Amino acid sequence: MFNDIVKNLSKEVSNIQEKAQEHLQNYNLGTQVKELERKKASKLVEVGRLAVEKYGYGKDVSDDKLKALAEEVIAIDDEIALVSAEMDNIKVQSDPKAPSSRKSAAKAGYKPTPGFNCPKCQTPASKEKKFCPSCGHNFKNESDSDEPIDVDVETTET
User: Where along the chain do its domains lie?
Assistant: 2-109, 112-148
The model's pLDDT over 109-141, given as tens digits with 9 standing for 90+, comes to 667 777 788 888 887 788 888 888 778 888 876
Per-residue pLDDT averaged across 13-28, rounded? 90
pLDDT at 45 over 50: yes
Range from 69-78, 87-96, 110-119 that averages highest in pLDDT: 69-78
Q: What is the mean pLDDT of residues 17-26?
A: 89
Which carries the bigger pLDDT value, residue 125 or residue 71? 71
pLDDT of res. 106 = 65
* Radius of gyration of the CA atoms of the chain, in A: 25
